[in-house]
């Protein structure tokens, strides 16, 4: 009996030791970066969920090493699937071990990382001096209590992509479409002459409605984290869009979204005359809708009234630095080099095809240089962007946002666009559910 007690005691001790090993938080254990002594090379770990972002940072690290021979960086960049990466990061930050130095965080996930005490490094000092050169709303969405925690790759200005062939066939000139009501009229002409819908809307996504309400300075969540899904402007916008669907001017995108295989195939066959999506959607055209090369033109969105906003900044991914980094200062310098500098912003366009957040590079000659985007859409892309530069209202991304986005995407949108229920009723219901 006594021996058994001894054994049980030993077992218990082992378990307790193992468990205490599991749960000890190693404060300031140096994160993942480490100085490799002799060569003076600092290792920085970077996580992203977009392969192209990884390549971009790798090229910037190479450039950095050429420009800073005494501050060499060894960038260990990894691409991890979207959900996995964000989950992994949450757990690393929550548990206090295992987070990278630099990390990409997608806009709709960002509020999760602002809960409690942010475990990301305050980048205000880095960003402040550049505020006049960048689109401010692009760092505002990654802020909490007046402090900035992330820097975006792009503005995500929403533009209208028109299929010129279809418009020509219907005798419509894209430049004559100034307001949404012009758009509806043109749409009726298109459907009459070609039998094709003017535009498609997302039936299970947020990109059709959000830019449209943002254009009118409304949002799904306000600056104080209040849910505003059923604001009058939002209801009116949804009613107008639903009316266009009922008239046949608009169709619901196959696959219920603009980022689906079904939609790409549908669009490639020239089945709809237009779509409005953020600037970053260009690479879907170049990579997935090859047959429309040379046929698509980019124009500002129609305004809701004369002189109204003709764009909206949508989507985005911030790069942040975690407080577990052992080389915060170097990581900050490198981040500023890659994302805030003029050269870095030009590279963002050249390599990623995004509208960089520094607007002073939009007029740079590099923006007209031939690449796959100018080959596809023509070289006046940035002329359109410059036209709407001051018409991009900020969006509010707050703690409640991830939940609100999901409710709008998977409850409101299918009800309104697929089941054609009354938008007012649906939005009121979603609002009630989110605020109960």
Partner 1 sequence: MNSRTWAPYGFVLPFILSFLIFFAYPLFRAGMMSFQQVLPGDVQFVGLEHYSKLWNADFRAALWNSTRYTFWTLLLLVPVPMVLAVLLNSSRMMARNLFRSALFIPALTSVVVAGVVFRLIFGELDGALMNSILSVFGIPSQQWLYSSSLAMVALVVLAGWRWMGINMLYFLSALQSIPKDLYEAADIDGAGVMRKFTSITVPMLKPITIYVITITLYGGYAMFTESYMLWAGKPSPQNIGLTMVGYIYQQGFQYFNLGFGAAIGITLLVITLLISMLQLTVLGMFRKED
Binding site for partner 1 (CB under 8 A): 3-4, 7, 11, 14-15, 18-19, 22, 82-83, 86-87, 90, 93-94, 109, 112-113, 115-119, 203-204, 254-256, 262, 265, 402-403, 406, 409-411, 413-415, 418, 433, 436
DSSP string of 214-225? HHTT--SB-TTS
Phi first, then psi, for residue 47 (nearest 5°) are -115, 140
Using CB atoms within 10 Å of the CB of residue 343, give its burial: 0 to 12 exposed, 13 to 18 middle, 19+ buried. Answer: middle
- C-beta of 263: minimal distance to partner 1 in Å? 10
- C-beta of 436: minimal distance to partner 1 in Å? 8
Q: Two tokens at 326?
A: 């052992």
Q: Which residue number, 90 or 393, has a Cβ lying nearer to partner 1?
A: 90
- C-beta of 418: minimal distance to partner 1 in Å? 6
Q: Collapsing DSSP states into helix, strand and coil, what is residue 37?
A: helix
- C-beta of 346: minimal distance to partner 1 in Å? 33
Q: Which residue number, 270 or 402, has a Cβ lying nearer to partner 1?
A: 402
3-state helix, strand, coil in the chain (%, to 5): 50, 15, 35
CB 97 within 8 A of CB 29: yes
- C-beta of 216: minimal distance to partner 1 in Å? 26
Question: Which of 306, 304, 197, 212 minimizes the C-alpha distance to 253?
Answer: 197
Q: How far apart are CA 381 and CA 374, in angstroms?
A: 7
Q: How far apart are CA 8 and CA 261, in angstroms?
A: 59
Q: Which residue number, 122 or 387, has a Cβ lying nearer to partner 1?
A: 122
CB 292 within 8 A of CB 285: yes
Q: Which residue number, 254 or 356, has a Cβ lying nearer to partner 1?
A: 254
- C-beta of 119: minimal distance to partner 1 in Å? 5
- C-beta of 323: minimal distance to partner 1 in Å? 10
Q: How far apart are CA 120 and CA 324, in angstroms?
A: 8
Q: Which residue number, 21 or 195, has a Cβ lying nearer to partner 1?
A: 21
Ordered alpha helix ranges (H), 132-220 = 137-140, 164-170, 180-194, 210-215
């Amino acid at each position: 009996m006594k021996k058994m007690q001894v054994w049980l005691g030993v077992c218990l001790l082992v378990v307790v030791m193992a468990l205490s090993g599991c749960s000890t938080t190693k404060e300031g254990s140096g994160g993942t970066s480490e100085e490799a002594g002799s060569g003076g090379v600092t290792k920085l770990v970077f996580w992203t969920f977009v392969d192209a972002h990884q390549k971009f940072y790798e090229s910037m690290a190479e450039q950095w090493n050429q420009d800073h021979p005494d501050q060499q960086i060894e960038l260990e960049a990894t691409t991890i699937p979207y959900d996995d990466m964000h989950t992994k990061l949450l757990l690393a930050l929550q548990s206090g071990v295992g987070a990278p130095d630099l990390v990409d965080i997608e806009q709709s996930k960002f509020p999760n990382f602002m809960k409690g005490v942010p475990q990301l490094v305050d980048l205000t000092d880095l960003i402040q001096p550049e505020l006049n050169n960048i689109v401010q709303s692009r760092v505002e969405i990654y802020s909490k209590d007046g402090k900035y925690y992330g820097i975006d790759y792009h503005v995500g200005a929403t533009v209208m992509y028109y299929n010129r062939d279809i418009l020509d066939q219907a005798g419509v000139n894209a430049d004559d479409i100034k307001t949404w009501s012009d758009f509806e009229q043109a749409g009726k002409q298109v459907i009459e002459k070609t039998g094709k819908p003017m535009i498609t809307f997302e039936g299970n996504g947020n990109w059709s409605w959000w830019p449209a309400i943002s254009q009118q300075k409304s949002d799904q969540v306000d600056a104080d984290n209040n849910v505003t899904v059923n604001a009058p402007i939002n209801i009116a916008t949804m009613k107008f869009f639903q009316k266009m669907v009922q008239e046949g001017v608009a169709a619901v995108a196959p696959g219920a979204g603009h980022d689906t295989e079904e939609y790409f195939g549908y669009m490639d066959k020239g089945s709809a005359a237009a779509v409005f999506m953020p600037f970053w959607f260009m690479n879907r055209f170049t990579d997935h809708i090859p047959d429309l090369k040379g046929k698509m033109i980019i124009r500002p969105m129609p305004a809701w009234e004369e002189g109204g906003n003709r764009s909206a900044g949508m989507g985005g991914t911030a790069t942040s630095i975690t407080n577990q980094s052992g080389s915060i200062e170097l990581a900050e310098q490198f981040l500023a080099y890659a994302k805030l500098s003029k050269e870095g912003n030009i590279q963002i366009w050249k390599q990623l095809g995004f509208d960089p957040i520094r607007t002073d590079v939009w007029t740079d000659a590099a923006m007209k240089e031939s690449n796959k985007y100018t080959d596809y859409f023509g070289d006046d892309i940035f002329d359109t962007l410059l036209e709407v530069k001051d018409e991009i209202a900020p969006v509010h991304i707050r703690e409640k946002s991830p939940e609100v986005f999901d409710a709008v995407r998977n409850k409101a949108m299918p009800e309104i666009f697929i089941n054609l229920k009354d938008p007012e009723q649906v939005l009121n219901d979603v609002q009630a559910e989110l605020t109960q």
